[in-house]
Amino acid sequence: MGGSDIMVVWQDSYKSVCNAPLVSVTEFDLDPFHPGLEFLAYWRSLNGGETPRRSSFSPQNIPSLLKWLMMFRREMVADDDLYFLYLQGNSAAELTDGLQQGTYLHDFTKQQCFDTRRAVLRGVLESGQPAFANILVGEKGADFTTTISVGAFPFLNEGGQPEVVMVPAPQSPELRLYL
């Protein structure tokens, strides 16, 4: 099967995974070779399972995962927490209807879906531990639907400000080969 043989039919309202709500799952619900689990092993190696400093993250240690990364910085404006996407890998951009780097999460996510993402981001920052979620994409009754699984991983930058690395990737190993 060539790359052009796969056709993803997105729901009209789901131009990207950013417009479909997240549903919490555990790490055990993911395919064992999912990039999120690979990043989990790397994340745990950085600080023994505690929230690592952003400076301990070395991209050269995980070159095969870089295309899946979305790196967010939390910014507080009054009492509102905003999440600025400052780095996005190519495969992650394919899932989000194009490159969203340099924008805030609320600018490219519908409100209901933004709320589910912000809850995950807040949860990992409060707990200091990763979280996982699924997104089901595709029209009901379509020949093709798929599940995108997402890992969210907390970090602290040198100023002590929180950051989150998200790793979205299809649950299907075959589909991951085409992104």
Please, which residues have CB within 8 angstroms of residue 104's CB and are 6 or more apart in sequence? 82, 83, 84, 85
In order of their start, the domains of the chain are 3-176 (3.30.450.20)
Taking only the tens place, the pLDDT of each residue in 130-173 is 999 999 876 666 666 788 999 999 999 888 889 999 999 999 89
Would the pTM count as exceeding 0.85?
yes
Taking only the tens place, the pLDDT of each residue in 34-59 is 999 999 999 999 998 899 999 999 98
Q: Looking at residue 137, what is its pLDDT? A: 79
Nearest CA to 87 out of 163, 179, 169, 5 is that of 163
Please, which residues have CB within 8 angstroms of residue 126's CB and are 6 or more apart in sequence? none
Taking only the tens place, the pLDDT of each residue in 12-39 is 444 568 778 899 999 999 989 999 999 9
Q: Mapping DSSP to helix (H, G, I), strand (E, B) and coil, where does residue 23 land?
A: strand
Taking only the tens place, the pLDDT of each residue in 90-132 is 999 888 878 999 999 999 988 888 999 999 999 999 999 999 9
- The residues with which 80 forms a beta bridge, in sequence order, are 77
Q: Looking at residue 140, what is its pLDDT? A: 61
- CA separation for the pair 170, 179 (Å, rounded): 9
Q: Looking at residue 116, what is its pLDDT? A: 92
Kindly provide the b/e burial profile for residues 97-135, where b requires at least 16 CB atoms within 10 angstroms of the residue's own CB. Answer: eeebbeeebeebbbeebbebbbebbebbbeeeebbbbbb
